Amino acid sequence: MAGRKKGNLSAVIGCHLSYADKAQIEHLSPEQLDTWVDARLVAKHARQAEREKSRLTPKAQRPDCGATTRAGGRCRAKPVWDRERNQPRNGRCRLHGGLSTGAKTPEGKRRVLECLKLGPIARREQAAARRAKAEAEK
Ligand SMILES: [Zn+2]
């Protein structure tokens, strides 16, 4: 890397040269300058890797909410995002339960599990009742 011009040094190391930097490199030999620049480049790449790691998934790449809408389609809004874990909270948008944190009390959790178990049975009974009503109206 010998023979590099001083003019584009700040572009090479990816940050501005402070007055202290300038005073320091003023008296360096070309070899020492190369070492100095290499150290700054290592720091620059570490900064870039850190930024890359903390970057959130762009909205366009996040999945859709997917809830069934009243119009019969699927919700295309983006799910509520957990910025710390960089993943959806529960897969739904803010309008379709994405903000919900679920049951908290032991009693509430038990009730939810009970509904999960009984849901299909209840739906079958409701459908049977609808059919019976339709039959009666004929
Ligand atoms: Zn939605």
Rounded to the nearest angstrom, the distance between the alpha carbon of 63 and the centre of ligand 1 is 11
Rounded to the nearest angstrom, the distance between the alpha carbon of 39 and the centre of ligand 1 is 49
Surrounding residues of ion ligand 1, Cβ less than 5 A: 65, 67, 75, 77, 93, 96
Instruction: Classify each residue of 44-82 as buried b or exposed e, where b means 16 or more C-beta atoms within 10 Å of its C-beta.
Output: eeeeeeeeeeeeeeeeeeeeebebeeeeeeebeebbbbe
pLDDT band at 104 (very low <50, low <70, confident <90, very high): very high
Rounded to the nearest angstrom, the distance between the alpha carbon of 68 and the centre of ligand 1 is 8
Rounded to the nearest angstrom, the distance between the alpha carbon of 55 and the centre of ligand 1 is 24
State the average pLDDT for the chain.
86
Amino acid at 128: A
Residues in a beta bridge with 81: 88
- Our CA dihedral for 111, 81, 91, 97, rounded to 10 degrees, sits at 50
Residue 108 scores a pLDDT above 70: yes
The tokens describing 110, both together, are 């038990």
Domain regions of the chain by residue span = 9-54, 57-101, 102-138
Strand segments, DSSP code E, in the chain are 81-82, 87-88
Q: What is the pTM of this model?
A: 0.48
Neighbouring CB atoms inside 10 A of 93's CB total: 19
Residue 14 scores a pLDDT above 80: no
The pLDDT assigned to 120 comes to: 87
The tokens describing 105, both together, are 């009390």
Residue 116 scores a pLDDT above 70: yes
Rounded to the nearest angstrom, the distance between the alpha carbon of 132 and the centre of ligand 1 is 34
**Tens of pLDDT, residues 78-90:** 999 998 899 999 9
**Tens of pLDDT, residues 38-59:** 888 898 889 888 888 778 899 9
Rounded to the nearest angstrom, the distance between the alpha carbon of 113 and the centre of ligand 1 is 23
Residue 7 scores a pLDDT above 60: no
